[in-house]
Structure 1
Amino acid sequence: MNSWGKVMKVLVMGHSAGQIGGVSNFLRMMQEKAGARHQIDLFTVGPRDTESGALARSLRLLSDYFAFIGFAKKDYDLIHVNPSLDKRSFVRTLVFLLICIMFRKKSVVFFRGWDWDAFRFFFVKSNPVGKIARWILSNSAGFIVLAPSFKTELSRFFPTHRIDVLTTMFDGKYMPVSNFKFYDSPRMLFMSRFIDSKGGIAAIDAYVEIAKVYPDATLVMAGDGPKRVDWENYAVSLGQAAHGVNFVGYVKAETKLAALSDANIFLMPTSHPEGMPNALMEAMGAGLIPVVTEAGGTFDAIKHGELGYMLSEPSAKEMLHAVTSIMSNPTGSTEMSKALRLHAWENFESNAVTSRVINIYEEIVFAG
């Protein structure tokens, strides 16, 4: 039970449990951690493993809409929507929110990805799509964003008290217990979905330059996705120059623990419209020192020189400079690792974040 003395039913929209990625991990942990307090159900949206082609995607989307209407008729107290603010997918999310309005369901919108061009299109520029989007969103009971800068911009259009800033989260039981491990050479980890905008090629190129300075350096490429074969072939094409690059596939639970335990530096040269990447939270929680580009919420997570290193561009030269700074200062890097780990456990560990999300639910349902 909770401080309100009531149990609520929440429908959370997200990809199927079999899909890899930060949103799926977040939803899994929400169900695990919040199940004792409330009923949290999952409504599956998005691509299925079996679908192929534009026609199959269109039919699946129509099927999702009709299935969602059926769920909207049920006695859910709140519907939690997890859109990414981008031009391609956000319009599809607006239809689900319109269905919520039709059936008078309270909704909370958790922006998982944030593209500034899309924000300007839907919120700043004067166009019919933007006006419709803002009207639909104005009917939502609350918003959750992953960075203070997102809240600042969104509050230009919606009441500030309806906007909460949260983070994604990591599961503490799969975190190594040690802090920064000072090896003679950097042991780097790239952990992400393998799509172009995540920067896998940039990470491999950076490894090549770093290995010229640190011949025993290693780079573990953890993850999976449509670009995996291309990236593996690219590394092979570099020959001996990429001898320390190792592709290990998608990691979870114990295999993720092993990947985090064996690394001391986290590379994330992303250009993706990130919210607050789960992998970054996990790396910080494990005490790895992140070397990342400014994309979405990473700007708010990283304090350059104090809590990781922020790249001005995802270039091999920039990453080499950051890695050299880390490796040349073992005392400072050890202290940074401790600070990263403490900050992450206080702010991003699943128990803490889940409690904050549930508190938002309760305020909307019981106090709103």
Structure 2
Amino acid sequence: MTSRKFKASIFAPLPPQPPGGIGSIVSMLQGGFEDRYDLGFFSPIPKKDRFSAFFYRPIGNLVRLFLAILNTEKGGKFLLFSSEGVSFFEKAFWSILIIAFGRKPSVVMVSGLFPSFWEKLNFLSRRLSSLLVSNKNFTLVVQSENWKKYYLKIFPQASIEIAHATAAQEFYCRNRPSDLSVHSPQLVYVGWIIPEKGIYDLLDAMMILIRRYPDLILRLIGPTFGKQATWNNAVYARKITDNVRFLEAIYDRKLLINELDADSIFVFPSHYEGFPVALLEAITLGLPCVASSVGGIPDILDNGKAGLLVEPMAPFQLASSLSKIIDDRILRELVAMNAWERAREIYNYTNFIKSYQDILRLK
């Protein structure tokens, strides 16, 4: 008598993980599939230090992957998550092994930096990657229509499916926004405080905005990675010290919702993005948003209907769009309402679970 095997398996970091990114996706998948006995969850070894990254972790992960393969039916689906760089080559190698053992890998691409990574690859690396992605047993999974168009350009023979995203359920508890006619809205950003996220662009935009709105406040919520002094100097140099507040990363969702629910206009001027959870959470709360038109952001904001889109690295355009949404109450209410409705129509929990159920071929 043989032991029962899973019809499909997910091989990804399991909770507890910091909020956002792959950790949040896997956590919600565990919750959505908790009653299923035909889906297995397996975790690679977490990244801890350089020694484990180069020696212990690669070998240990192969052992864990092999055990996951043995516990999954032949022909069954495997779900992996990949970013750019080493992660991409690692998932490619794992996928080859999964195919060799008669299973079918589906790889969710989550990085906004993949296009720049792909441009730097040599011909041989691109060719080998294309051969793998074009394999009939391999499925590339993306998080938006814009990303699907991009990957079809570089992998025209690939099988590509879309995985719906969602926010944590706490964000869906807010009532429909009805009146955003506040006199002194505040700007709020949530994410890593690093140059690549457009923070210098945002500070430059603030320098322009305070000439017209001297009492305007910008709250930056997120980790500074030991660079707080650098950011303080940047704020001081622009003479906006009284208008900018740095808050530490907030991992408690209720506390974060309270911070976002304070007459806020959400601003997200990143230079690159995959599919930012912070922006998805903002539209779920019905916040009026201004964000850069990169990665999956145009999909989240319905190409400008659920928030204003600006070019990345364009502080004057950013300031102009923020000024427009501050001054125009009707516009502010319209995009906020569209955002609130889009989050519930497109990015709801049911669509999220159903999309992964389809990708994993689970009935």
TM range (shorter): 0.7 to 0.9
* Matched residue type, 2:128: I
Q: Tell me whether 1:261 sits opposite 2:261 in the alignment.
A: yes
Q: Alignment partner for residue 100 of structure 1, among 83, 98, 101?
A: 98
CA contact (8 A) 1:189 1:222 kept: yes
CA contact (8 A) 1:200 1:231 kept: no
**Cα deviation per residue 1:294-337 (whole Å; 9 max; x = unaligned)?**
22122333355522111123333222101111011102211221
* Matched residue type, 2:146: S
2:183 alignment counterpart: 184
**Cα deviation per residue 1:210-240 (whole Å; 9 max; x = unaligned)?**
2332122222212225365355534564486
1:47 alignment counterpart: 47
Structure 2: tracts of 5 or more residues without a match: none
Cα distance change, pair 152–201 in 1 and its aligned pair in 2 (3 A)? closer
| CA distance in 2 between partners of 1:309 and 1:60 (Å) | 47
| CA distance in 2 between partners of 1:264 and 1:309 (Å) | 15
Q: Tell me whether 1:12 sits opposite 2:8 in the alignment.
A: no
1:128 alignment counterpart: 124
Cα distance change, pair 360–326 in 1 and its aligned pair in 2 (3 A)? same
| CA distance in 2 between partners of 1:57 and 1:230 (Å) | 31
CA contact (8 A) 2:15 2:26 kept: no
Cα distance change, pair 92–196 in 1 and its aligned pair in 2 (3 A)? farther
Cα root mean square deviation, aligned = 2.9
| CA distance in 1 between partners of 2:25 and 2:181 (Å) | 31
Deviates more, 1:310-319 or 1:39-48: 39-48
* Matched residue type, 1:243: D
Cα distance change, pair 315–149 in 1 and its aligned pair in 2 (3 A)? closer
| CA distance in 1 between partners of 2:229 and 2:44 (Å) | 29
Q: Tell me whether 1:110 sits opposite 2:108 in the alignment.
A: yes
CA contact (8 A) 1:192 1:279 kept: yes
Q: Tell me whether 1:170 sits opposite 2:167 in the alignment.
A: yes
* Matched residue type, 1:128: L
| CA distance in 1 between partners of 2:87 and 2:6 (Å) | 32
CA contact (8 A) 1:195 1:227 kept: no
Please state how far the C-alpha of 1:46 moved relative to its aligned partner.
Answer: 5.5
Instruction: Give 3-state SS (helix, strand or coil) of 2:103's partner.
Output: coil
| CA distance in 1 between partners of 2:224 and 2:108 (Å) | 24
Q: Tell me whether 1:24 sits opposite 2:35 in the alignment.
A: no
Instruction: Give 3-state SS (helix, strand or coil) of 1:267's partner.
Output: strand
Deviates more, 1:321-330 or 1:230-239: 230-239
* Matched residue type, 2:228: V
2:343 alignment counterpart: 344
Instruction: Give 3-state SS (helix, strand or coil) of 1:91's partner.
Output: helix
* Matched residue type, 1:214: Y
Cα distance change, pair 163–208 in 1 and its aligned pair in 2 (3 A)? same
* Matched residue type, 2:258: A
Identity across aligned pairs (percent)?
Answer: 17
Instruction: Give 3-state SS (helix, strand or coil) of 1:212's partner.
Output: coil
Instruction: Give 3-state SS (helix, strand or coil) of 2:210's partner.
Output: helix
| CA distance in 2 between partners of 1:36 and 1:231 (Å) | 49
2:145 alignment counterpart: 148
CA contact (8 A) 1:121 1:130 kept: no
CA contact (8 A) 1:186 1:323 kept: no
1:301 alignment counterpart: 300
1:67 alignment counterpart: 64
Instruction: Give 3-state SS (helix, strand or coil) of 2:12's partner.
Output: strand
Deviates more, 1:62-71 or 1:215-224: 62-71
Q: Tell me whether 1:137 sits opposite 2:136 in the alignment.
A: no
**Cα deviation per residue 1:55-81 (whole Å; 9 max; x = unaligned)?**
443125423334323333322643211
* Matched residue type, 2:320: H
* Matched residue type, 1:58: F
| CA distance in 1 between partners of 2:167 and 2:184 (Å) | 27
Deviates more, 1:347-356 or 1:234-243: 234-243
CA contact (8 A) 1:167 1:276 kept: no
Instruction: Give 3-state SS (helix, strand or coil) of 1:132's partner.
Output: helix
| CA distance in 2 between partners of 1:88 and 1:202 (Å) | 30
Deviates more, 1:75-84 or 1:24-33: 75-84
Cα distance change, pair 291–104 in 1 and its aligned pair in 2 (3 A)? same
1:3 alignment counterpart: none
Q: Tell me whether 1:221 sits opposite 2:217 in the alignment.
A: no
